[in-house]
Amino acid sequence: MLKILYSEIIKTKRTPLRYITFLLPVLFSSAFLWYSSVRSLSDFYIHQAFFEIWTAVVVPITAGLLFGLAANQEENAGGFINLFGNNFERSSLYIGKFIIIALSMQISMIISIFIFGIGFDLILCGNFPWVIYISSFILGSIGALSLLSMYMWISFAWGLGASIGFGGFGILVAALMSTNLGDSIWTYIPWAWPVRLSILPGAYLLFTSSMAYPPKIISSGELINQIASGFIFASLFFIFMIVGGIIWFKRWEGRKMYE
């Protein structure tokens, strides 16, 4: 597996993956920091907006682009001959490629939070809630991994165009699921999991020292119930897509030009 991972890292040279991983979070966090500095916003609103924009916009379109480009790169290299013409297990090749892209996206998110957190303390002169943002990152990553496992399958089965198309469609769905329209159905919608799971810890920012009791969503146990439901559905979907994708990939012989 280490050889496969190293090979996948080498393949990222002169591809958008490295630029997206390290440049995108700098641009995103800088832009959001500027927006927060010129507007009078509560810590709760800043947190919710930060993760809603990242998980509802950045994650779907970036996943569609990166997985689509990865599949397109393999297709252009002699019709997937680099994948099929070696002695590695296909399951290991599939998982290796998924790990590199998924890990890159999570690193990108970590960088974005780190830059924004430092800027929040220095520029906005606030007390950045690191624990809440890290909790949101962990929960959002769980939802994102489930989504990424689907894009991995789509990109190889149908190509770059379909992968990007699903990314655009995912933005619309995620945006809708982040509103009241998704309150009762978000646990069943893959594109909603990164958004909804990542914003749930923000409820603790509503709990101030002047309050005798926590907000109702916390004291009633509703917050924990939502996290548990989202985690269960996202985890089951992830297992299904990864196992199903590996089984399919083992039997796949590549895409024809007309596909």
Q: What is the pLDDT of residue 158?
A: 87
Mean of pLDDT values over 93-109? 91
Do residues 217 and 166 make contact, with C-beta atoms less than 8 angstroms apart? no
Tokens 């399919």 label which residue? 248
pTM higher than 0.95 for the full model?
Answer: no
Q: What is the pLDDT of residue 258?
A: 39
Mean of pLDDT values over 155-183? 90
Q: How far apart are CA 41 and CA 56, in angstroms?
A: 20
Is the per-residue pLDDT at 259 higher than 70? no
Type of residue numbered 109: M
Q: What is the pLDDT of residue 136?
A: 96
Report in angstroms the alpha-carbon separations of 49 from 43, 60, 81, 202. 10, 16, 44, 10
The candidate with the shortest Cα–Cα distance to 21, out of 12, 10, 30, is 12
Q: What is the pLDDT of residue 118?
A: 94
Least confident of 33-37, 93-97, 205-209: 205-209
**Average pLDDT for the chain:** 87
**Which distant-in-sequence residues (6+ apart) come within 8 Å of 97 by Cβ?**
8, 70, 152
Q: What is the pLDDT of residue 183?
A: 86
Is the per-residue pLDDT at 254 higher than 80? no
Mean of pLDDT values over 73-86? 70
Is the per-residue pLDDT at 106 higher than 90? yes
Report in angstroms the alpha-carbon separations of 154 from 26, 34, 65, 133, 167. 29, 36, 11, 31, 11
Q: State the pLDDT confidence band at 78, using cuts at 50, 70 and 90.
A: low
With the CA atoms of 227, 229, 231 and 234 taken in that order, what torsion angle do they form, in degrees rounded to the nearest 10?
Answer: -140
What does the block give as tokens for 148? 């990424």
Mean of pLDDT values over 110-119? 94
Q: State the pLDDT confidence band at 85, using cuts at 50, 70 and 90.
A: low
Q: State the pLDDT confidence band at 197, using cuts at 50, 70 and 90.
A: very high
